[in-house]
Amino acid sequence: MPKYIGLTGYMGSGKGEVAKLLQKRGYKYISLSDMVREEATKRGLPHTRENLQNVGNDLREKGGAGVLGAKVCALVGQEPESSWVIDGIRNPGEAEELKKLPDLQVVGVSASPEILVQRVLERNRGGTVLKREAILERLEREKGIGEPPKGQQVKKCLENVDYFILNEGTLEELGRKFEHFLRLGTGEDRPTFDEIFMEIAYTWAKRATCLRRKVGAVIAKDKQQLTAGYNGAPRGVPHCAELGGCLREKLGIPSGQRHEICRGTHAEQNAITQAAKFGISIEGSTLYCNTFPCVICTKMILNAGIDTVVYDSDYDDPLSKEILAQQNVLVLRRYEGRKIRV
């Protein structure tokens, strides 16, 4: 098993339960949040979540994004014979600093906003009764919305973990999912088919010529790969790097908007058109992609007869999410399992 396991996730995600599972296995516990609480105490501040978030931001602003991670490295380094679970990673800089520890694996735990809100409402930590609106505001801040780069950036942390768990069931289910992570590391478990096909999608993403985001996609059926694709310029057309840069960047177009102003074909589109080119039926198949589909890809996926989309990282395209919420022919699943970085 890994000597060091880091945990990141939103409030109510259940990462604390994962930490308990590791402590039962003999791991020592340390939390970046506890360091923030100690600093808040020194400053005479009550330990409200808002105060703790502000103190954490201040520490990172003055000491660098990885300052809390560096403190943890120094502390656990005093007991090199021990295994540690490191909780409370909230900024990518902290994760990068912690990566200096040998064999560190970062696990992300999350759930839908509705489930997160309900859990926070039920646990009533510290006797403070929060309303739904207040919880949603705090979750937005944890995600990084309105936060400085050195502030709370849990969404970015979750997109760069080594293993991701969607905790929307029972504690027993959470335990089984985490056990699979541990058994993968020891070789006792084989990868799931989701993990196999997503790894292939990430491998295809290495061929991407897009300067903004490298995306790969795989279409599979009956546990067999049918086609694959990556994002880049159409056949015979020079890509952006050959033409002096990204047109969307030059025009200041935000991610998730004005997809027609782009030289590239998306990975999902390429996987679908490859099926058409070679006469491969993808009716009832599953599409794996390391990014949530945009609105153009969504419409193609729906009309191609694909049954399921398994996606990894999020993509901010409101119209795509609106259309997917209105349809009832396609199953959309967030990927769980071992993640591969491009």
Q: Which residues are identified as catalytic? A: 268
What would the DSSP string read from start to end of 97-132? HHTTSTTEEEEEEE--HHHHHHHHHHH-GGG----H
Distance CA 108, CA 178 (A): 11
Sign of the CA dihedral 202, 205, 211, 213? negative
Give strand ranges (E) for the chain.
Answer: 4-9, 28-31, 84-87, 104-110, 163-166, 216-221, 224-230, 286-291, 308-313, 331-334, 337-338
Distance CA 148, CA 53 (A): 12
Distance CA 9, CA 158 (A): 7
Q: What are the angstrom distances between the C-alpha of 65 and each of 52, 58, 68, 276? A: 16, 10, 8, 47
- Environment class of residue 121 by beta-carbon count within 10 Å: exposed (0-12), middle (13-18) or buried (19+)? middle
Taking phi over 0 as left and psi of -120 to 50 as alpha, with beta for the rest, 9 belongs to left
Q: Please name which of 32, 42, 35, 49 lies closest in space to residue 86, comparing C-alpha atoms.
A: 32
Tally Cβ neighbours within 10 Å of residue 124: 10
